[in-house]
Amino acid sequence: MAAASVTASAHGARDHARAQEGTKVDTMPVLPASSWPAPPEGVVAEDIVWAETMAGGNYTHKVLARGTELRLTDLTGDACAHLLLFSADRPWERLNAADTVKVLWHAYLGEGHLLLSDQGRVLASVIEDTSGRHDCLTGTSTLARNTERYGDGTPQSASPAGRELFKLAALKNGLAPRDLPPSLSFFQGVRIAEDGSTEFTGSAGPGKAVTLRAEQDVTVLIANVPHPLDPRPEYTCTHLEVLAYRAGPTAPGDPLWDATPEGRRAFLNTAGHLTARGIA
């Protein structure tokens, strides 16, 4: 009743809203990002461009410049970072999970893996990984499945589905639901058994991290929700730390560039595209 009376008028609502300035909670973006209290080793605070702690059942998004490194950390062992990437100014070029697997002859994400677009170019590369528990085969959760499992899957519910959160993130970047391809996910593993069935292997534990390097300007969408194959009956997803900082793109001479013939071709495709646009 007291809160209602405080916001009963426009002036009261304004004063109440302004009184919240400076309030800090465990999960929120840090602004400016350079004020993040613990920069990664070798990174100066001024180079941090995105710093956020995401709660489970939430989403975030950002446009990152080519050469930016994005580090995701599973703080307590139950995060699941579902990821989509789009070329920032050409969103019809987007992450292709199928090509990411088949072109590189490897179904399991990890250090050295390239995240490819549907045009044979590198959107991002995985340059560090201490988890090894990821998935590029299953995609994220859906409204129908979460409603069946948890009783609800809408974005405002206690058990939002990943695709529903991706729709919101997409809309904030001028994208429609039909623009959303299958996503990758980090920190909850899936393996393929001998009989072809999928086996959920879960988390590698708290504090594990994966670092991606943007090889083009990219729009990043992240939904932190339980993996669709997580067998636990409760909606279980915990905090995800998101940090991005200025660095540089992969260049000829980097071991990652020449790690495989297919990867080298993807980097050459990317370089040719950027050179034609006048981007060094």
Average pLDDT over residues 196-224: 97
Confidence (pLDDT) at 3: 56
What average pLDDT does the chain have? 94
Which residues, at least 6 apart from 23, have a Cβ–Cβ distance to it below 8 Å?
none
Residue 130 to residues 5, 44, 82: CA-CA distances in angstroms? 51, 22, 17
Confidence (pLDDT) at 23: 64
Average pLDDT over residues 247-256: 96
Nearest Cα to Cα of residue 191 among 121, 129, 137: 137
Confidence (pLDDT) at 25: 62
pLDDT tens per residue across span 237-251: 999 999 999 999 999
pLDDT tens per residue across span 40-67: 999 999 999 999 999 999 999 999 999 9
Judge whether 100 and 114 are in contact, CB under 8 Å: yes
Has residue 22 got a pLDDT over 80? no
pTM over 0.85: yes
Average pLDDT over residues 185-204: 95
Confidence (pLDDT) at 15: 73
Has residue 84 got a pLDDT over 80? yes
Confidence (pLDDT) at 11: 77
pLDDT tens per residue across span 123-133: 999 999 999 99
- Who wins on pLDDT, 14 or 134? 134
Alpha carbon dihedral 95, 96, 97, 101, in 10-degree steps, equals -120
